[in-house]
Amino acid sequence: MPTLAEPDGLQLPSFERILCAVDLAQPTPNALSLASVVAAGFGAALEALYVGASASSLDPATVQELDQVVQGSGARGTTTRLAFGAPAPAILERAREHRADLIVLGSRQRSDLGWQFRDDVVRDVSALADCATLTVHERDVPAVIERILVPVDFGPATGQMVDFACAFAKRFGAKVQLLHVVSRGQGEVGSGGQADLAALERRMVELGVDGAAQVIVAGGVANGIESYNERSEFDLVVLGRHVEPEPPPRLVRGVIATLRNRMSVPLLSVRAPRHDATWPRARAQGHAARGVRTALSA
């Protein structure tokens, strides 16, 4: 992951190569549109990828159809590429070949049964990708990025989530809202959690980002994030993933997958760094032992 040095020496994540997967059967033009906006904001190259079922399906008509989808989305300066095979493995392979820093995917709403028993390209790519992923719901209209929500759980990905949010905020002039959801059974956040939130707010100030933090009580992490977003209407939500990619469980849906299905807002999913000196492992483990940390698994 490339980084961009700030004037005060702090490092923020950046993007150089963005890969946007396109489903020609059910295209999500807004995914390409947002990918183009992000690419322009970060000065990154954007590639649109279509994966066909077989080599014979990649004919001149398919090339023309992909070009039309790209042009219709307004994604200027975008290169196109065709591949064939199973969609998720092909997307992941191209991302590795292309050394993509971000994969953008269109997402559609599914029932619980549909999520459990049908193949889900978005779920599989998001869970297994080495880089960040950005999912854009078919109902999203991502014209601007002005308000960014970062639900923090004080786990290993927390520092990375805040840094990504700040990187977007500085490029698009957006405000960042940190949110910690406490379950009703727990009642309130402990002193350690309050100190962690204060530390994250100080980091945003150091980076020159307009931000705030809030703690809410809800009947579950996903429900709390969803209801908070409905009240404030954010343009981007940043969530964290486990350090090591793991095959997604078929019958267990985590917070990220739940929100991806429920919410009409782009979701940026970032993986915790393997070594994060800014967020000591001992602190994260301490919160986990006290029941503060809730894993936001894909």
- Domain membership of residue 297 (yes or no) is no
User: Which of the listed residues 67, 95, 112 is the one where a domain comes to its end?
Assistant: 112
205: domain CATH number is 3.40.50.620
Task: Confirm whether 127 is domain-assigned.
Answer: no
From 112, 135, 167, the end of a domain falls on 112
Tens of pLDDT, residues 39-86: 999 999 999 999 998 888 888 999 999 999 888 887 778 999 999 999
Kindly report the average pLDDT of the chain as a whole number: 81
Q: How sure is the predictor about 192, in pLDDT bands with cuts at 50, 70 and 90?
A: low
Helix (H, G, I), strand (E, B) or coil at 76: coil
Distance of alpha carbon 211 from alpha carbon 203, whole angstroms: 10
Q: Where are the alpha helices (DSSP H) in 17-82?
A: 29-42, 60-73
Per-residue pLDDT tens digits for 145-169: 999 999 998 888 999 999 999 999 9
Q: Is residue 120 assigned to a domain?
A: no
Query: Containing domain of residue 151, as a range?
Result: 147-289
Higher-confidence residue of 80 and 296: namely: 80
Q: List, in sequence order, every residue forming a beta bridge with 4; answer none if it has no partner.
A: 12
Inside any domain, residue 295: no
The total domain count for the chain is: 2
Residues 190 and 278 in one domain: yes
Residue 95 sits in the same domain as residue 156 = no
Q: Are 152 and 199 in contact (CB under 8 A)?
A: no
The verdict on residue 119 lying in a domain is no
Q: Are residues 94 and 167 in the same domain?
A: no
Give yes or no for residue 266 having a pLDDT over 70. Answer: yes
Whether residues 197 and 257 share a domain: the answer is: yes
Higher pLDDT, 192 or 66: 66
Check: pTM over 0.85? Answer yes or no.
no
C-alpha torsion angle, residues 16, 63, 91, 22 (rounded to 10): 80
User: Are residues 153 and 108 located together in one domain of the fold?
Assistant: no
- For range 188-204, the mean pLDDT: 80
